Every structure is written in C-alpha cells, then in structure tokens.
Structure 1
C-alpha cells in the first residue's frame, strides 16, 4: 500500500447491506464514504436481489475501490433459513464485485472481531468503538451495518499490512 489503497468493506444482508470505503496509506486511515443499501422487505426475493445488485453496482461505479472485503457466510443450526438468504445476498454482491473486476477478500466474523479488538467474541459496542478509534472519528458510525462494513475494511487493511500480497490485488477465495 505504498501509494495508498481504497478498500471497500461490505456487511452483506438481504434487508440492509452496509458499506464503508477507507483510504489506507501507510499507517494513515481515512474514512472516505459509508452508507447502506436498503432492499424493500415486502418485495419478492428476486426483486430484492436485483435491488441489492443494482445498488452495489452503483456504489462500485461511483466509489471506484481498489479492492473489496466482505464478511464470510456463516450459519447457525437454529436459523438455517437466515444462512440461505444471506447466501443469496452475498451472491448478488459478489457478482457485482466480479463484474467490476475487483479482487475479493473474505473474512470470518470472529476474525474481524479479533483483528480489531483482540477478542473474537467482542460485543457490537466494542467493535463500534474500535472502528471509531482506528478511523479517528468523533462519533461511533451508525447504523451498526456501517460500523460492521468499516470493520471489515479495516480488517483487510491489517491483513494486507501483514501480508503484502493482499495489498497488491491478489485474488483471495471468497467462498
């Protein structure tokens, strides 16, 4: 990251997907843009996925990130339907990244929490404070989807510092 890099972090969801763009230059981190893509919950699945894909394509065209970091899919045995819906959403998002020819890096939720706080089971408030601190923000990023997306971008920054191949745009498997 000698010349700096724009890292887009994505917190995928079918209802509200958070995104956060961070400029990384050496040890300096700067929030560039952040927000959410909201899909209308009363629409059929295929329409919601189209809304999500179209929204992600707009963001990628506008922000022009150098790389793309996303939370890995996880499932809980009590909520298999949630994992299936998340998989659909993640697929629409990853398609947009592939269409934009972006290198995709995928991180587990526990890996993100451990990287930012040192605790793989850190509560959401601790994560939000870590994001606020690392980006030098005056307030905690809201909503939580935005803070999570920024945490994912920051995780990629920390991993790319440890492994320079990641910052050179090497494609990581995002399955």
Structure 2
C-alpha cells in the first residue's frame, strides 16, 4: 500500500488529494483546497500555502508527493512565475518531512487519465470519478486535478503499463 499526496499548485487556489494505492486500485482518503487571499502580500500567500501543505502532510503521512510540473504559455509568463512561488513552498514542505517528490507535466497527466493530452476539465473530473469509484465528480476542478496528479504519481512513479502506453503515443 502506498499513500500519495497529489497537489495542483496555484497561488490563489492549491488543490490537494490524498489517495491510497494497492496495485492499480485507488482509494480516496481526503481532498480539498488551500486558498490564499488574493489581496494579501506574496509573503502571506505563500505562507498560507506552505502551512496548508504541512498540515496535510502531518495529518496523512504520505509516502510520496506528486506535483504538477511548471508550465507556461509564452503570452502569460507571469502565471508561471506565480505558480513557481507556490511550487517552491510545496517542495520546501516536502523536504522538511523527507518526502520524495515526483513532477508530471499537465499534458502527460491528461494523457494517462483520459488518453488525450488535451482533455478538458470535465473529462478529467469524469476520469478521476471512475478511477476512484466516486458517486459524483470531484469539485472544484482543482481537487479533481490534484487527485489525477496523485493517481499519476503512483502510476508513473512505478513504471506501469499506463506509462509505457503514454510513451508510445
């Protein structure tokens, strides 16, 4: 059994999801969001994210932290810089608990979860619902993304068949 914490980093809203994996069977432990006040200073905002991630780690003792890789569109470099702040404090929290961190690109996560590297939010929510055997789709989409990141953290981190299929495509 492996416990994985998946995180969808954002400066305003950071989604997180904790799952347990036994082979290819996944169980949802907890999921939610960490919000930082948009009108607060950058220091206060990254501190809120850091504190929230530390609390989740302390409460659930994951074996692995899976984090969405930094990406940027050329027309929005500021977004990448802000996301980098969030990723930095998440990695710091992981380091303080000697927690291994794996990083996955958003298109890779989408490809593994849906077969389509350009899947939309709804497709991702449905894929997560199916993988975890949930009655409803996880809301908001930040939570669904974090759960997908956790699932891929286990799946891709273990060199599974899904990873091999993703590479061939």
Return the TM-score normalized by structure 1.
Answer: 0.89
Which one of 23, 28, 32 corresponds to residue 25 of structure 2? 28
Q: CA deviation at 1:63?
A: 1.0
CA RMSD for the aligned pairs?
Answer: 0.9
Distance 1:27 1:79 in 2: 37
Give the corresponding residue for 1:123: 120
Distance 1:161 1:103 in 2: 13
Distance 2:124 2:14 in 1: 17
Which one of 82, 92, 99 corresponds to residue 96 of structure 2? 99
Q: CA deviation at 1:158?
A: 1.7
Give the corresponding residue for 1:12: 9
Return the TM-score normalized by structure 2.
Answer: 0.92
Q: Is the 8 A contact 2:102 2:157 kept in 1?
A: no
> 1:43 aligned to 2:36?
no
Distance 2:30 2:14 in 1: 14
Give every structure 1 segment of 4 or more consecutive aligned residues whose post-TM-superposition deviation is greater than 4 Å: none
Distance 1:54 1:86 in 2: 17
Distance 2:47 2:156 in 1: 32
SS in 2 for 1:162: coil
> 1:79 aligned to 2:76?
yes
Distance 1:44 1:162 in 2: 41
Superimposed CA distance per residue, residues 39-60 of structure 1 (whole angstroms, 9 cap, x where no aligned partner):
0111010111111111111111
Distance 1:160 1:94 in 2: 17
